[in-house]
């Protein structure tokens, strides 16, 4: 049977398989879930449309769902995050339907989402809410079969909550991002390491002794700031939330406005989920040679249109993932990965061992959604607490780490109110 698919080059499949297997070695929790799924088949006959970054880690999640009996159709959640070898291997080696090509234009991007929706999904998996938005705005004919969905990232959860508030969300969606075993690890350590990795692969600059400006001190920003400091950079944080700004200041970073930071930074990393965080008024103040990168979900954090308008010529590609904008004869700024998620555009995304937890949450939540089909409201749900804790426990086990248990005396003490001073 031919598997419906559109990938860049099927001959890359053997390379993709080796890479998927490499990632799998670091995804021990997901492996255990896959073993159980292949015996119990909890997803038998369940059609899933997944709009996720097409990486080796995602491939292992797709394999896990397929092992559970699901029929999966995967498309990309960002035009620059697809690994073409991974996409090819999923189709050729694992028999999973994929529509994803790195560097696809906007028309192709939505054609691929439509292809996933054409499979009449019962479950949707999203990373940024583009598939869910498409389904609600343009493909309402495909809503009837959907019993629930999952959302991977902060930006997608914000969009879903806006849909719920507007009364338009048509089915229950679980906010994977909000699980402790997701955002405390994936957003912080995953984005922290892989955003720096992407910038270094693209530019090969030395961070030691440079001023790195991190815009946004949320879960991701904390990770990026910590890793930049660890490599010897002088880290400046910009924020709009007073509590987060205070936290950054007490964590030992210099906190200032983006305009003040614009005059000082050698490297700027936006990671806010917000629009036009760096814009014309900031570009005009930047030093010659300043480098700009974005690790937030969409390519809107750096106002590239305004940067293009300030430049004397169209951007010039000076390295595979670096564009030069000449703002004055003696002042150039550089943009990495076209302002898209730098860790995926210029590197390989998060390391497998951290995606192990996020994707274990995904697999277990999909099993939970199927078991509770028809019982849930049209709203955004948190990941059930027992799933979150189960993933933490399993991860510790696979790391060979043991922890204490409460004694009966401690358990009783923690549940009472009478004993005090």
Ligand X SMILES: NC(=O)c1ccc[n+]([C@@H]2O[C@H](COP(=O)([O-])OP(=O)(O)OC[C@H]3O[C@@H](n4cnc5c(N)ncnc54)[C@H](O)[C@@H]3O)[C@@H](O)[C@H]2O)c1
- Candidates 109, 171, 217, 381; binder of ligand X (CB under 6 A) is 217
Let me know: does 141 contact 121? Beta carbons within 8 Å: no
Closer by beta carbon to ligand X, 73 or else 155: 155
Determine, following the binding rule CB under 6 A, whether residue 211 of this chain makes contact with ligand X: no
Q: Is the dihedral of CA 64, 70, 72, 78 positive or negative?
A: negative
DSSP code for 383: P
Determine, following the binding rule CB under 6 A, whether residue 150 of this chain makes contact with ligand X: no
- Candidates 63, 134, 227, 297; binder of ligand X (CB under 6 A) is 297
Let me know: does 72 contact 46? Beta carbons within 8 Å: no
Q: Cβ 197 to ligand X, closest distance in Å?
A: 11
Three-state secondary structure string covering 35-69: HHHHHHCCCCCCEEEEEECCCHHHHHHHHHHHHCC
- Candidates 13, 20, 219, 394; binder of ligand X (CB under 6 A) is 219
Closer by beta carbon to ligand X, 97 or else 124: 124
Let me know: does 196 contact 410? Beta carbons within 8 Å: no
Determine, following the binding rule CB under 6 A, whether residue 358 of this chain makes contact with ligand X: no
- Candidates 72, 101, 174, 277; binder of ligand X (CB under 6 A) is 277
Residue nearest to ligand X (CB): 218
**Per CB under 6 A, which region of 43-51, 159-167, 236-244, 364-372 contacts ligand X?**
236-244
Q: Cβ 317 to ligand X, closest distance in Å?
A: 22
| H or E segment and range at residue 332 | strand 331-336
Q: Residue 338 to residues 212, 316, 321, 324, 335: CA-CA distances in angstroms?
A: 19, 12, 7, 11, 6
- Candidates 16, 121, 192, 273; binder of ligand X (CB under 6 A) is 273
**Per CB under 6 A, which region of 148-156, 163-171, 204-212, 363-371 contacts ligand X?**
148-156
Determine, following the binding rule CB under 6 A, whether residue 187 of this chain makes contact with ligand X: yes
Determine, following the binding rule CB under 6 A, whether residue 54 of this chain makes contact with ligand X: no
Determine, following the binding rule CB under 6 A, whether residue 172 of this chain makes contact with ligand X: no
Alpha-carbon span 65 to 42, nearest angstrom: 9
Determine, following the binding rule CB under 6 A, whether residue 181 of this chain makes contact with ligand X: no
Determine, following the binding rule CB under 6 A, whether residue 126 of this chain makes contact with ligand X: no
Closer by beta carbon to ligand X, 10 or else 276: 276
For 143, half-sphere exposure in the C-beta direction (CA atoms, 13 angstrom radius) is 16
Closer by beta carbon to ligand X, 40 or else 259: 259
- Candidates 295, 311, 347, 392; binder of ligand X (CB under 6 A) is 295
Structure tokens at 144: 């009837």
**Per CB under 6 A, which region of 201-209, 259-267, 273-281, 324-332 contacts ligand X?**
273-281
Q: Cβ 315 to ligand X, closest distance in Å?
A: 22
Neighbours of 323 (CB within 10 A): 22
DSSP code for 281: H
Between residue 375 and residue 414, which ones bind ligand X under the rule CB under 6 A? none
Alpha helix positions (H), 188-284: 191-203, 219-230, 242-250, 258-264, 280-283
Could you tell me how far CA 399 lies from the centroid of its own chain? Answer: 23
Alpha-carbon span 11 to 20, nearest angstrom: 15
Determine, following the binding rule CB under 6 A, whether residue 337 of this chain makes contact with ligand X: no
- Candidates 238, 353, 358, 362; binder of ligand X (CB under 6 A) is 238
**C-alpha dihedral over 265, 307, 269, 161, to 10 degrees?**
140
Determine, following the binding rule CB under 6 A, whether residue 215 of this chain makes contact with ligand X: yes
Determine, following the binding rule CB under 6 A, whether residue 92 of this chain makes contact with ligand X: no
Q: Residue 205 to residues 199, 235, 268: CA-CA distances in angstroms?
A: 8, 15, 13
Determine, following the binding rule CB under 6 A, whether residue 359 of this chain makes contact with ligand X: no
Q: Residue 102 to residues 53, 54, 225, 297, 315: CA-CA distances in angstroms?
A: 10, 9, 29, 17, 21
Q: Cβ 191 to ligand X, closest distance in Å?
A: 4
- Candidates 12, 300, 341, 345; binder of ligand X (CB under 6 A) is 341
**Per CB under 6 A, which region of 66-74, 183-191, 331-339, 413-421 contacts ligand X?**
183-191
Question: Rule CB under 6 A: which residues touch ligand X?
Answer: 153-155, 183, 187, 191, 215-221, 238-241, 244, 271-274, 277, 295-297, 341, 343
């Amino acid at each position: 049977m031919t598997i419906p698919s559109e990938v860049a080059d099927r001959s890359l499949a053997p390379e993709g398989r080796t890479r998927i297997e490499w990632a799998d070695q670091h995804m021990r929790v997901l492996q255990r879930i896959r073993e159980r799924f292949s015996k119990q088949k909890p997803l038998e006959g369940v059609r899933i449309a997944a709009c996720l970054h097409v990486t080796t880690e995602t491939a292992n999640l797709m394999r896990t769902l397929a092992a559970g009996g699901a029929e999966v159709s995967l498309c990309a959640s960002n035009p620059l995050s697809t690994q073409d070898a991974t996409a090819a291997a999923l189709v050729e080696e694992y028999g999973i339907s994929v529509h994803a090509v790195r560097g696809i234009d906007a028309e192709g991007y939505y054609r691929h989402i439509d292809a996933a929706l054409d499979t009449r999904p019962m479950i949707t998996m999203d990373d940024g809410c583009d598939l869910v938005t498409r389904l609600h705005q343009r493909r309402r004919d495909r809503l009837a079969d959907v019993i629930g969905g999952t959302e991977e990232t902060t930006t997608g959860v914000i969009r879903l909550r806006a849909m719920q508030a507007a009364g338009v969300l048509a089915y229950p969606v679980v906010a994977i991002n909000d699980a402790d075993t997701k955002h405390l690890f994936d957003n912080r350590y995953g984005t922290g390491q892989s955003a720096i990795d992407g910038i270094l692969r693209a530019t090969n600059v030395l961070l030691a002794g440079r001023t790195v400006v991190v815009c946004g001190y949320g879960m991701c920003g904390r990770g990026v700031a910590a890793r930049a400091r660890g490599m010897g950079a002088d880290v400046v944080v910009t924020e709009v939330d007073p509590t987060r700004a205070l936290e950054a200041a007490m964590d030992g970073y210099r906190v200032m406005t983006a305009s003040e930071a614009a005059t000082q930074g050698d490297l700027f990393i936006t990671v806010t989920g917000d629009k036009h965080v760096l814009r014309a008024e900031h570009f005009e103040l930047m030093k010659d040679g300043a480098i700009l990168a974005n690790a937030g979900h969409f390519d809107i954090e750096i106002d590239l249109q305004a940067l293009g308008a300030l430049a004397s010529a169209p951007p010039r590609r000076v390295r595979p993932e670096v564009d030069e904008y000449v703002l004055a004869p003696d002042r150039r700024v550089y943009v990495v990965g076209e302002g898209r998620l730098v860790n995926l555009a210029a590197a390989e995304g998060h390391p497998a061992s951290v995606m192990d937890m996020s994707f274990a949450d995904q697999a277990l939540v999909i099993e939970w959604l199927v078991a509770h089909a028809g019982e849930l409201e049209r709203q955004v749900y948190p990941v059930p607490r027992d799933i979150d804790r189960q993933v933490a426990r399993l991860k510790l086990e696979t790391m060979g780490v043991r922890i204490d248990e409460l004694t009966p005396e401690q358990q009783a003490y923690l549940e009472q109110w009478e004993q005090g001073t």
